Amino acid sequence: MSDRPDAPSAPATAVGELDFARVFASPSLDGTAPRGVKLSPDGRYLTLLRNRETDRERYDLWAYDRETEDWRMLVDSDKLGSGRALSEAEKMQRERLRIGSLKGIVTYEWAADGEGLLVPVEGDLHYAALDGSVRRLTDTEAGELNPALSPRGRYVSFVRDGSLFVGQLGAAEPVAITPPETADTVHWGEAEFVAQEEIGRRTGYWWSPDDTRIAVARFDEAPVATVTRAAIGAEGTETFEQRYPLAGTDNVDIALFVMNPVGGDRVQVDLGDERDIYLARADWAPDGRTLYVQRQNREQTRLDMLAVDPATGASRILFTEESAPRSWINLTDNYRFLKDGSLIWWSERDGFGHLYHFSDGDMRQLTTGDWMVTDLVGVDEAAGRVFFTATKDDVLATQVYALDLAAPANIQRLSDPEFVNTADMDSAGRTLIVQRSNNTQPPQSYLADTSGNRLAWIAENSIDADHPYAPFLASHRPAEFGTIQGPDGTTLHYRMVRPASDEGKKHPVLFYHYGGPHAQVVTRRWRGALEQAVVDAGYIWFELDNRGSANRGVAFEQPIYRAMGSVEVEDQRAGAEFLKTLPFVDADKIATYGWSYGGYMTLRMLEADPGLYAAGIAGAPVTKWDLYDTHYTERYMGNPVTEPAPYAVSGVIEEAGRITDPLLLIHGLADDNVVFENSSALIAKMQAEAVPFEMMLYPGQTHSVGGPKISLHLWNSIMAFLERNGVGPDSTAD
């Protein structure tokens, strides 16, 4: 099975010439990078989105016929594109998914009969048949959000202008089935800002399995504070009156209804007496007789699973998850409702994320141990087998496993431990789609049977002579892994890549960090060419996962509760002190760099330990947590109205005058996530304190500043900043 179609190979480049210009150019040095890998309902076709050799950010839809073993481009995005600008709502949805820079086809969906696919392109919808024909379904200026095909394939649905539209596929124009609203603050079928950005819920409507009902969320964002967000571009400035729920302020008023897809009666779901809640998830039972709704309290210490009668909207609590003391509930998509009425469920109730089987009111634990289940991959209900990924064998390298519901203690590993593995599965749990990589192998993907045996490569992506990374393989530096003890004795994992050097040579360090919750930086996966270019420039690349990071259990995460910017800084300090003991490190040239939460960490680290770091780079930093949104911030810090103390000590504005080391501040001027006010407040404070610093602002760029030329400019700016401030490599030796 070929890993890529015939295409021009990468231009030859001399060994060792890996620079930032080549890192961000096309073709991607990672090689083939498919997205959205799916199997057709009958399992014959494998489809995926593949980026182009000549444009790494443009994706087309490809199909592989497992019977004929032939690849072909099913939909050419260039032929469907109209050049029409995306609506602001779709731009923001893509930003929530961190795919704002991608072009062409970014998502698609198989029809239930396996005869075609729903393909959105530039705000309009198309139906692509397997014979290569494509039929346009919509052609409007407004754009269609959250498009979907109903489970049995009779209907197409989408959101337009705050209303949910439904129509029979191939028949008359879809019509709005939700009632008209007089206020433009009311939205049907959408996910509100925090649902998209923080909760992980991307839609606001859910089809029943038999196409007879739709559960539809309605939210009114009138209670939410309005902030004026400026998107400062190169040739002008747009302002948006954005409803942004700042920590401690009101969220949207949300409700849930069940309605008929062709209009008519609708009933409201009873979500309880408490209105200030989060609608976390909604799912239908496989037989369509019950709607399951996850309701989370504002404090995020309680999660109720509600069982709803779709005919009446009446609800009852099926079970409840409650957080450990001084902790919170982590939401998850790792669950599956089964045809027999039971549920495979993920919970951290024993201190680690594990799988449980909920049946007839009983919650039976399936996995146990001081390790984390990271993803529920699939369930083969006929065979009674559950497939999942976990850190059971190595906290730095997830593997694919299977267990039998009848004998869950016998866990079988299905993947190669030499790789970091993730996986997907068809809905029947019969075929695995495994993705893997390691320190020297870019991402690969393959089809496997339920025993883990590889059936065929999807993308072998071997670094052969034609691979884009081949010219640089000889100079590729391996990652080194190790542990240090944190200030409280906790074991902390680090990852380091250092240049090849002569005996006695010392190197500066680019100390990268994120530091925030729900992220694990240190793993054994392929990390791409960027850090190798930094190493080729003469720097050591170093990173450390501090307390508060993901995949180490509740006790490892919990120390940041009501204390952001404390233990993370202490643990990163231990990392810097460890670096200074190494004979190949220039102890006077350790620069710290991070983005978003990592940018916040840069500022906290420079304030806490003047002189420990030679310089700091802060990208898109949060500087005042009361400027960030409710769901994320209050989860860890509490409500600033009732608990102001954690906010007072966690910000970076008041202590900005303590920064004495060189600082480069970077921000996109159209950032709607960490809004630019975070940086402007810091800028004003540092200027008022006469604290020198440098700044690089990017007009039109959002939270993810990037693009082939923009990324090149960004990294050239970082390197130039380090050189100007004496943190560049030299020939210092013992």
Active site residues per annotation? 596, 671, 703
User: Which burial class, exposed, middle or buried, applies to 198 when counting CB atoms under 10 A from its CB (0-12, 13-18, 19+)?
Assistant: buried
Separation of alpha carbons 715 and 474, rounded Å: 23
Separation of alpha carbons 35 and 28, rounded Å: 14
Can you spell out the DSSP letters for 436-454? Answer: EE-SSS--EEEEE-TT--E
> Between the CA atoms of 135, 140, 141 and 143, what dihedral angle is there, to the nearest 10 degrees?
-70
Q: What residues contact residue 459 under an 8 Å CB cut-off, 6+ apart?
A: 3, 4, 31, 32, 33, 34, 443, 444, 445
Residue 567, both tokens = 């233990």
Within 10 angstroms of residue 20's Cβ, the number of other Cβ atoms is 21
| DSSP three-state, residue 88 | helix
Separation of alpha carbons 117 and 108, rounded Å: 7
Chain-centroid distance, C-alpha 303: 22
Measure CA of the first residue to CA of the last residue in the chain; give whole Å: 53
Separation of alpha carbons 680 and 730, rounded Å: 35
Within 10 angstroms of residue 255's Cβ, the number of other Cβ atoms is 15
> Between the CA atoms of 546, 552, 558 and 560, what dihedral angle is there, to the nearest 10 degrees?
20
DSSP class of residue 196 equals I
Separation of alpha carbons 306 and 373, rounded Å: 24
Distances (CA, A) of 131 to 73, 310, 475, 682: 11, 39, 46, 57
Instruction: Name which of 5, 9, 17 is nearest 471 in CA terms.
Output: 17
520, 391 contact by CB (below 8 A): no
Chain-centroid distance, C-alpha 151: 26
Instruction: Name which of 380, 418, 408, 374 is nearest 392 in CA terms.
Output: 374
Separation of alpha carbons 662 and 112, rounded Å: 58
Within 10 angstroms of residue 347's Cβ, the number of other Cβ atoms is 22
Instruction: Name which of 215, 302, 212 is nearest 262 in CA terms.
Output: 212
Q: Is 146 left (phi over 0), alpha (psi -120 to 50) or beta?
A: left
- Across 610-724, the runs of DSSP E, i.e. the strands, are 615-619, 663-668, 694-698
Name the one residue in this structure whose structure tokens are 């080549």: 22
Element (H, E) at 567: helix 567-579
The pair phi, psi for residue 194, each rounded to 5°, is -70, -25
Separation of alpha carbons 346 and 336, rounded Å: 9
Q: How many residues does the chain have?
A: 734
Q: What residues contact residue 344 under an 8 Å CB cut-off, 6+ apart?
A: 335, 336, 338, 355, 356, 357, 358, 366, 376, 379, 386
Long-range contacts of 720-726 (CB under 8 A, 24+ apart): 721/615, 721/617, 721/662, 721/664, 721/694, 722/508, 722/510, 722/591, 722/615, 725/614, 725/615, 725/662, 726/589, 726/614
Separation of alpha carbons 37 and 46, rounded Å: 7
